Chains A and B, each alone.
Chain A
Amino acid sequence: MTQMTFARAINAGLRKSLENDPKVVLLGEDIGMLGGVFRVTDGLQKDFGTHRVVDTPLAESAIVGTAVGLAYRGYRPVVEIQFDGFVYPAFDQIVSQVAKLHYRTRGAVKMPITIRVPFGGGIGSPEHHSESPEAYFTHTSGLRVVTVSNPQDAYTVIQQAVSCDDPVIYFEPKRRYHDKADVDETADARTAVSMEQARVLTEGTDVTLVAYGPLVKTALDAAAAAADEGISIQVIDLCSLAPVDYDTVVASVRRTGRLVVTHEAGQSGGLGAEVAASITERCFYYLEAAPVRVTGFDIPYPYSKLEMHHLPGLDRILDGVDRTLGRPNSLSGLEG
């Protein structure tokens, strides 16, 4: 076991991938000499050379578009998009090409591309640096979308993403980059918990609380606070956002009868809506209350002085928990 930060754990996972497979190449802006603006690729160019770890010109569409060509040629490109808000210039290549080529060619062409995107807010950044664009990608068939919430998963899941034959969008919760935890670097990614599997993080009997990425820590804090009040919350980290491991969530909700989903992204058309609808379909007769979403608002990500209002915090999550339990809450007395 080694204590390492989230960012360091991804770095270690990428290093393993580069060592294990000569076809793995990294592409992105500032990822070489600088080691990325978050230092996630620190030292990799020095050790693997400029042909394996490539500083690219400033052109996101080209970064992803050339990854498509490299994949045609049998490579496994891992591209870094510097910040969430800069993935949009590459959006066309991702949704029109990366996502569809396997289908379009009836499986003849594989697109084992991993697209790493630091995402989410809470670090006081200017606009375009704090977005949660996951729903755009979960809505696109052909893509796998994952996000991790702790250094150990960060380490193994990045390796699983890189070795996956499908394209994977790997969202990194940037406000957790400096969080430290023990990581077992001897863990074999092939036998570790699959990136497709949701993680049950706490045992709980009253409410199922579904979170992913940056809000997993907040959800765990909320569960701890609720426990002080005698409320038992089962926290589930989805890990995979497309596809969602519904079996795990269903099993939990069948026991608790209550569901709260939380994410930073805006509510309408967000992943919370998808989870709430799917669970309602599958668990209708088990539900004691309507599923509740605690999310960001349907607004452009706000300037940093106000971001704490937009981001779901512990108290807002607990308020949502109270709603499912019929306890007094901010919306008490309101209908619909």
Chain B
Amino acid sequence: MSTDEAGQGGAQAQGSAQSTQGTAHGLVQLITPSGERVSHPEFDFWVRDITDEQLCSLFEDMSVIRRIDVEATALQRQGELALWPPLLGQEAAQIGSGRSLRPDDFVFSSYRENGVAYCRGVHLTDLVRVWRGNASAGWDPYTVNMATPQIIIGAQTLHATGYAMGIQNDGADSVAVTYFGDGATSEGDVNEAMVFAASFQVPVVFFCTNNQWAISEPVRLQSHIHLADRATGFGIPSMRVDGNDVLAVMAATRVALDRARRGGGPTFIEAVSYRMGPHTTADDPTRYRDPNELEDWAAKDPISRVAGLLERKGLLTEELQQQVRDKADAVAREMRDGCTTMADPQPLDVFKHVYSTPNSWLDRQQDHYARYLASFGDPAGATLEEGAR
């Protein structure tokens, strides 16, 4: 199923890492929007091991996470989730990069990388736990080597850089990979992360999904140059890839990972894509977005593009499509069931995990609140629902 690590051996055999990508900021593309495989002198090498079978599995993964996204959006509309940040249109960027990582690499992402989380093996129920309001973190980062999603824009890029400093100290060859948006590149944190990463030449990959929008603000408000060019100013080699092209994303990610593993330091990838849905389910893009723009990008859809390639290769059989649909149905069902049957947290849970050792202020507050709840003869606090008005 997974294409983890595929091609890494080949990369090692290649000898000195490709050195020219640092400044090549034409858009790297290996599959055209109509599904034609086009060759690229540098990047073909990095996906030459991808078999037809693996291509089918990438198609499946992308279809499944689109289905996860659609299902979660429906769950939000039905009142089962408080909010959801859709990734519609960003499937290639997330699967192409996510499937290139090794299990011992560590991911620091924003809230939108649910497809990456799927690649890391995050449990489907855990994917929606936070958005349902049942927890602050959906999973234990160490079980999947992925930090829980970050809401503060850009903060995770510093965490990844620090983690990479640790990897470097340990003499390991794993890589820290951080995901963030185009808007995030304006934040001080992201710029400071690049300064540290370049100064210490640590194994970190900056994966920027340029989906053209930061809520209502177009990317041209954040930058007058390609985002990939910003990294160059920090002395970080960068690439600009078609983010709707799963092979191009995979190739670029492998280049960056390979460089990091060999001690070549950080790399910045700008995956040029498009957020086809709203920013979150609370957003209304009709207030700021031209519908024609959506139409243009729909024609570059990442999933129909791989489907087109599979079709050209005679691989898009009814059998494959049925198999993908079945998988997506099963995953969606599992997520829905996990979501709707999730146990509600208990009132006194609010006091848990604030500290790892006892704290006398908090213990007293917990004791008083327990007495308060008990004074209603209702320790579950059910009568308090109205209390917060």
- Residues in A lying within 8 Å of B, measured CB to CB: 29-30, 32-35, 37, 55, 57-62, 85-86, 88-89, 121-122, 124-129, 217-218, 221, 267-268, 297-300, 302-311, 313-316, 319, 329-331, 334
Contact = CB atoms under 8 A, between A and B. Distances in A.
Main SS class of interface, B: helix
18 contacts: A30-B216, A34-B287, A57-B186, A57-B217, A57-B221, A85-B151, A122-B389, A125-B82, A126-B151, A129-B151, A221-B389, A298-B365, A305-B132, A307-B388, A308-B384, A309-B369, A313-B384, A314-B389
Give the top 7 A-B pairs by smallest Cβ distance, nearest first: A313-B387, A304-B133, A308-B388, A34-B216, A57-B186, A330-B372, A58-B183
Contacts of B345: 303, 305-306
B216 A127 contact: no
B152 interface: yes
Contacts of A310: 350
A335 to B, nearest CB: 12
A259 B29 CA distance: 69
Contacts of A57: 183, 186, 217, 221-222
B365 A55 contact: no
B131 A126 contact: yes
Contacts of A58: 153-154, 183-184, 186-187, 214, 217, 222
Interface in B342-372: 344-345, 347, 349-351, 354, 359, 361-362, 365-366, 368-369, 371-372
Interface residues of B, number: 55
Contacts of B361: 267-268, 298
Contact of B83 (A85, A126, A299): A126
Contacts of B366: 297
A331 B384 CA distance: 18
B388 A311 contact: yes
A305 B344 contact: yes
Nearest to A34: B216
Given A297-B362, A305-B345, A306-B345, A86 B222 contact: no
Contacts of A309: 347, 350, 369, 381, 384, 387
Contacts of B214: 29, 58
Contacts of B374: 330
Contacts of A315: 383-384, 387
A308 B165 CA distance: 41
Contact of A30 (B215, B349, B381): B215
A40 to B, nearest CB: 14
B276 interface: no
B215 to A, nearest CB: 5
Given A297-B365, A303-B135, 7 more contacts: A33-B216, A34-B216, A34-B288, A61-B188, A298-B354, A314-B389, A331-B368
Which of A88, A218, A297 is most buried by chain B, counting CB atoms within 10 A of its CB? A297
Contact of B217 (A29, A129, A330): A29
A127 B131 CA distance: 10
B30 to A, nearest CB: 31
B347 A306 contact: yes
Nearest to A36: B216
B318 to A, nearest CB: 41
B344 to A, nearest CB: 6
A129 B133 CA distance: 13
A55 B221 contact: yes
A80 B361 CA distance: 34
A89 B152 contact: yes
Contacts of B83: 125-126
A89 B134 CA distance: 27
A267 B325 CA distance: 53
A258 B189 CA distance: 48
B389 A297 contact: no
Nearest to B288: A33
B138 to A, nearest CB: 11
A61 B186 CA distance: 10
A122 B388 contact: yes
